[in-house]
Structure 1
Amino acid sequence: MSDAVRERLAWVAVDWGSSHLRAWGLDERGEVLARAGSDKGMLALAPQEYEPALLEAIGDWLSASGRVAVWVCGMAGARQGWREAAYLPVPTRLDDLARGAVAPVLRDARLEVHLLPGLCQHDDAAGRDFDVMRGEETQLAGLVAHEPGFSGLVCLPGTHAKWAWLEAGTVMRFATALSGELYRLLASRSVLRHSVAEAGLDAPGCREAFVGAVREAAAEPGRFAQRLFGLRAADLLDDSLPAGEARRARLGARLSGLVIGLELAGMQCELPATPVTLVGSAALCERYALALETLGHASRRLDGDTAVLAGLGLARAGGDNSSWRRI
């Protein structure tokens, strides 16, 4: 980073997950000046290793003097992370996440780090179940930063897909589906690993296979386990399928459709007449949008990285130095 760009650096945004960290250097207007990342996620670090990992990623952005605020969401604030930023219980206003931020003890005087909390939910008579999220709340805050007072249903596809019900910028309740992890386990650790492969929905026949599987799983969720083994049987017996990798790709698309279709089957009575807002990567959101469309529901999308940056910016704007809890 040049000295001229370094002088413009106002703050740093960090999304610190279980497997990776991603960092952005921004100016006061929110323009991204620099990007960095590493594979040093929570699972690879002990608490005392977080500051060196952060400096390894962004140290070149820092001037010899002065202090830069670093706002962090994700697993760095988990109990097993850098320092625990305790979950805030729902209902929670998304423009008020900074009240739960914690500041870890630092050696480098150029850093001022704030770890954002996640959200938690307890079971109750209103139909809520025990649940937690950490990182997705910041993406939801990014949606609210773009649309203050937002109300509606939001889906954040991923390894653990989140569904959140917002009213006037407040998370009222949420639900987690293990769909992404379930797909990965089935595709890589079960007997289906011999029959399926990942491919985009634009591969020949994959879109049709995905859509058909979504319909089947949503219509008859009780047959999900049977249809899973049917993938293996089709690989062995169905002469109408293409050969080689094209065959595996089509069966992989069908597996994806079955898993997402099962998730949507559990959501059918909850889906509103208004479009579902999808927040996340283009590829995953495309699948959820197609699945929702298949079942007659509209959707719209907000890019996941855009949401993270906007959410961290909203937290930064709402933060009050006197309220940060130092550990």
Structure 2
Amino acid sequence: MESSAMRETTEIAHQLAWIAVDWGSSNLRAWGLDQHDKVIAQASSDKGMLSLKADEYEAELLRLVSDWLPTNAPTKVLVCGMAGARQGWLEAAYLPVPTRLDQLSQGAVTPGLAGSQLHIYLLPGLSQTHSATAHFDVMRGEETQLAGLVADTPDFSGLACLPGTHAKWATLEAGAVTQFTTYLTGELYKLLARQSVLQHSIGSDDLNDAACRDAFVTAVSESYEAPETFSSRLFGVRAQDLLDGRLPTGKMRGAVLAARLSGLAIGLELAGACREPSSQAPITLIGNQALCQRYTLALNAIGFQTRHVDGDEAVLAGLRLAHHALKA
């Protein structure tokens, strides 16, 4: 007798039209979509680029999606992210900005495969080179999330931020990325909190707590208004822990100081990323809700408005856009 799981697998294989994949450094996520671009299956793995050799990608992807696949023809798979990096499955060369986000698929590459069940397209990242100012920058994966902004609004223009370990800020004009900058904010915070003298003072913050929120907002404003004081204010976090009798005791002490450190780091980022008047259109934040809420609090503190787009929804919309372009 056929089990319910087998019936479900059979139904997915019957409906599957193509597969979308976001392959990062640490993990990968795959979605099976039908002919109407509706998600009918999804799976994930902790086998990101850092865990795989070039000849292991096909097997890992098949391990996740083989039960979805029809038997009558190869299934088209669109992949964004680090699988297309130089040290990934096969390098999909960066496209230099300005680049229209509805044309990412023009830079896609197709790796050789051992089997015939899949037809893979690895999407490219974006690069920026200003030789005169020695300003070089790259992104890989985030461009597909940005493409999600133009999926429904082809002429989208505005400033977008993708918070994270390496936060990306991109200017979009009429559906194209014209310039972007990466800030090492998340990694900087982690290094300072865990490997510097500040490790003795830093705990885990909670911006739902009023004391943490106030410490965060104050620090954002300080860094934004006087970024040249950033280094001295960092050491001030340690000194405050030693000297400030107004700080709470116990875990809340470390939480408040963590919020202050986070605010200083993000404020420094904002000092470089958004110096324009606050009357401009809202900044679009793309990513998980918690991190985007943190950036919203920071941006609101210095006079900017924001709107939030879920990171998964954005990458799926961007992959759909690339899929449509391949069919055209």
Please give the TM-score of this superposition, normalised by the length of structure 2: 0.93
Q: Distance in 2 between matches of 1:64 and 1:199?
A: 51
Aligned length: 320
Q: Distance in 1 between matches of 2:206 and 2:64?
A: 32
Q: CA deviation at 1:237?
A: 2.3
Partner of 2:122: 115
Q: CA deviation at 1:271?
A: 5.8
Partner of 1:282: 289
Contact 2:169–2:273 (CA under 8 A) maintained in structure 1 = no
Residue 67 (structure 1) aligned with residue 38 (structure 2): no
Secondary structure of the residue aligned to 1:284 is helix
Q: CA deviation at 1:219?
A: 1.3
Q: CA deviation at 1:269?
A: 2.5
The partner residue of 1:4 within 3, 7, 11 is 11
Q: Distance in 2 between matches of 1:284 and 1:15?
A: 19
Q: Distance in 1 between matches of 2:75 and 2:241?
A: 56
Q: CA deviation at 1:60?
A: 2.2
The partner residue of 1:82 within 69, 77, 89 is 89
Secondary structure of the residue aligned to 1:165 is strand
Trace 1:138-217 onto structure 2 (pairs within 5 A): 138-217=144-223
% identical aligned pairs: 59
Q: Distance in 1 between matches of 2:195 and 2:115?
A: 44
Which residue identity does 1:148 align to in structure 2? P
Contact 1:282–1:303 (CA under 8 A) maintained in structure 2 = yes
Residue 255 (structure 1) aligned with residue 257 (structure 2): no
Partner of 1:307: 314
Q: Distance in 2 between matches of 1:35 and 1:271?
A: 42
Contact 2:20–2:77 (CA under 8 A) maintained in structure 1 = yes
Trace 1:237-276 onto structure 2 (pairs within 5 A): 237-270=243-276, 273-276=280-283
Contact 2:201–2:254 (CA under 8 A) maintained in structure 1 = yes
Partner of 1:29: 36
**Alpha carbons of structure 1 residues 128 and 32: separation in structure 2 relative to 1, 3 Å:** farther
Q: CA deviation at 1:56?
A: 1.8
Which residue identity does 1:9 align to in structure 2? L
Q: CA deviation at 1:158?
A: 1.0
What do residues 132-191 of structure 1 show as CA deviations (whole Å, max 9, x unaligned)? Answer: 110010001001103221011111111111111111101111111111111111112212
Partner of 2:234: 228
Q: CA deviation at 1:124?
A: 5.3
Secondary structure of the residue aligned to 1:143 is helix
Residue 133 (structure 1) aligned with residue 139 (structure 2): yes
The partner residue of 2:305 within 298, 304, 320 is 298
Which residue identity does 1:258 align to in structure 2? L
The partner residue of 2:50 within 24, 43, 48 is 43
Between 1:114-123 and 1:128-137, the stretch displaced more is: 128-137
Which runs of 5 or more structure 2 residues have no equivalent in the other structure?
1-7
Q: Distance in 2 between matches of 1:242 and 1:257?
A: 18
What do residues 174-215 of structure 1 show as CA deviations (whole Å, max 9, x unaligned)? Answer: 111111111111112212222112333113411111101101
What do residues 61-80 of structure 1 show as CA deviations (whole Å, max 9, x unaligned)? Answer: 22344221111000000000
Please give the TM-score of this superposition, normalised by the length of structure 1: 0.93
Q: Distance in 2 between matches of 1:189 and 1:57?
A: 37
Residue 218 (structure 1) aligned with residue 224 (structure 2): yes
Q: Distance in 2 between matches of 1:5 and 1:68?
A: 13
The partner residue of 1:104 within 103, 111, 123 is 111
